[in-house]
Amino acid sequence: MTAPRVRIGRYNDLATRQVVYQTDEAIEVDEIDHFQIVRKRVFFDDILFVTLHRQFGAAFLVTMAALGGILLFVAAVLVINHQSDVALGFAAAASPFIIAFFVRVMLQQDVITVYGRRSKAAMRFTFRKAFARAKFEEITSLGRRAQARIAAQQRAAERRTAERELPADVPLPPADPTV
Amino acid sequence: MEMTLHCRNHWDVANGLRNCTRCGQVFCPDCLVQIRGAAYCASCKNEELLDVRSGVALSGPLELASILRRFAAVMLDGLIIGIPFWILYVALIGVASGFRPDRMMGFQPLFFIPSVIMFIYEGVMITASGQTLGKKMMRIKVVRADGTDLQGGQGWGRTTLRTVIGFVPCFGVLADYLPAFFSKDKTTLHDMVVGTRVVNWN
Amino acid sequence: MAPARLASYRGPGCPFCGSAFAIEGVVDGPLVCPRCSRQFEARVLHPPARVANVLQIAQSGPEGAGACANHPRNAAVTSCGRCGIFICALCELPVDGAHYCPACFDRLAQEGAIDSARLRFRDYGSLASFVAVIGLIFSVFLGLPLGILTFYYVYKGGKAREETGASTTGLVLSAIVGVIDVVLGALFIFSFFLARKH
């Protein structure tokens, strides 16, 4: 069975739906694409760069403003035409969009992006900002620890080979092989 | 400059040499390992294994784009290019004919001009980069069946085929796109003939 | 010469504008993107290049390690977890805690038996909800078959829950809607036949 993994965040976009998990060795990104899940990983010992930034998420703001604006506009037109009860319905329908708009403007979104050598993972947080900051530091330290471990293993393996003697009949390559 | 090739690690071996698939350097059979049909040297073996486990291996299956995304891309193309040009075209004809319906009918043979513009737009963009604007926005791309970029006239051939099949009233578009739902590689009829696939590209 | 990849991931970049970013000499802390001038917090790591996994040339003498089954010149370091042949450091493919020879790795990866190499799954959770909803909308004719299909997807989703992270609540809800589909579909078919009899 697969290693136990913890769901740590998600990344939803115009064309993508991604759920981000954390395992012992890697950050896993499950991209849900039309009833199929495609999985990519960024291994901790492959991480090059981790960033944390705060953004508005313009696309979301524009969409919420547009939808809320249209509904409010219809409500306003109805009020002008003395149909306040129907206008109230439209205003109520507009409210979630308006609320979402203002929540996003006030809180903004914290985004952690993990850049590996061959893949990357990103996750967005609107409310759990302290969690995002903690996760950011945690991923960094896990990455550093895994990379230090690999470096130590490499050094140990190199030391082991260097200690062995090569048989005399195997010609050594010249001191400076040109590529 | 040496005339004979030799393995990078074993300078005495000169036969049976092959190139590592990733770094391209020459090695003897003792220095290469075969994974999924391709040969790798010691340094590249670990990299390839990491590629496989990270989900970015080139030798793996293509990441075929979902039909929904492809449909959305075509819709976007229509919105971006088709509608503005169609409006422009109708406006021009209107002006040229003084907005008199009887005279506008005289321009009927030119009704296909927006379609021609769509055809040229798609042909040019797909040949250049495998992506139209709609495909760029939906992050998908047209590639050959093995994953490499389109070459030669494949872009134009694909667009021509799609347009021509689409001319058949009612059934053309259906016959073209129906195979995509059932085939393993989500290939439409024009994909199958030209040998292309539409993959995710982000 | 790096191999071309299908996805166009080009390495670390600015998280705002996406433009490529050279990270040599960059230190931890707040950084400003040279292109879009926006600031972000960054940490730089240095993954060690997994250099030539040290090949060991077959040692002379009978007390040396046996030779690799694939490479007569290399010393065997371990044996394959599936077929047992001796393999050298070049052949051994460590995945999921076991070591395999290249042939067994290829075979297992094809079968889908290597967990870390299985990267595509059907999302039974969303399939189940989608089919359930369609079954509800078209319950007149499709209620019965789509309801049964929903149960099948819920079952498969339940089994694969650990792998694919399908939410239990979602599956349960889809199952409930599936029941409604089957009931409605059966009722319609029933009433259709009853109507014909009269």
Percent of chain A as helix, strand, coil, to the nearest 5: 45, 30, 25
Do B114 and B171 sit in the same domain of this protein? yes
Interface test with C, best of B45, B51, B143 (most C CBs within 10 A): B45
The CATH code of the domain that includes B4 is 3.30.40
What is the DSSP secondary structure assignment for residue B23, as one 8-state letter?
A: T
The rounded distance, in Å, linking the Cα atoms of A148 and C46 is: 9
Do B28 and B81 sit in the same domain of this protein? no
pTM, entire model:
0.70
Hey, which chains touch B, using 3+ CB pairs under 8 Å? A, C
* HSE, side-chain direction, 13 A CA sphere, residue A150: 20
What is the DSSP secondary structure assignment for residue A95, as one 8-state letter?
A: H
Do B120 and B169 sit in the same domain of this protein? yes
Helix (H) or strand (E) holding A113: strand A109-116
CB contact under 8 A, B22 and C70: no
Contact B12, A171 (CB under 8 A): yes
Domain count, chain B: 2
Do B137 and B185 sit in the same domain of this protein? yes
Which pairs with CB-CB distance under 8 Å and at least 24 residues apart come from C168-174? C170/C125, C170/C128, C170/C129, C171/C125, C171/C128, C173/C129, C173/C132, C174/C125, C174/C128, C174/C129, C174/C131, C174/C132, C174/C150
Give me the domain span that covers residue B10: 1-60
Hey, which chains touch A, using 3+ CB pairs under 8 Å? B, C
Which of C184, C101, C117, C197 is CA-nearest to residue C146?
C184
pLDDT, tens digit only, all 202 positions of chain B: 455 677 777 777 777 788 888 888 888 888 888 887 788 888 888 888 888 888 877 655 567 888 888 988 988 888 888 778 778 877 877 777 776 777 666 666 666 777 788 889 899 999 988 889 889 888 888 988 877 788 878 889 999 988 888 888 777 888 888 888 888 788 888 888 888 889 887 5
What ipTM does the predicted assembly reach? 0.77
Do B52 and B142 sit in the same domain of this protein? no
Within 8 A of A51 by CB-CB distance, chain C residues are 15, 31, 40-43
Name the residue facing A41 among B9, B55, B69 (closest C-beta).
B55
The rounded distance, in Å, linking the Cα atoms of B181 and B185 is: 9
| pLDDT surpasses 50 at C59 | no
Do B96 and B182 sit in the same domain of this protein? yes
Do B24 and B96 sit in the same domain of this protein? no
Do B54 and B76 sit in the same domain of this protein? no
Q: Rounded mean pLDDT of C117-132?
A: 82
Which of A55, A52, A21, A39 is CA-nearest to residue A140?
A52
**Alpha-carbon distances, residue B74 vs A118, B36, B167, B199, C140 (angstroms):** 30, 36, 17, 14, 33
Name the residue facing A15 among B10, B55, B138 (closest C-beta).
B138
Within 8 A of A46 by CB-CB distance, chain B residues are 50, 54
Q: A22: pLDDT confidence band, cut at 50, 70 and 90?
A: very high
Contact B17, A177 (CB under 8 A): no
**Alpha-carbon distances, residue A117 vs A19, A33, A44, A122, A124 (angstroms):** 20, 24, 10, 14, 21
Do B122 and B88 sit in the same domain of this protein? yes
Do B72 and B42 sit in the same domain of this protein? no
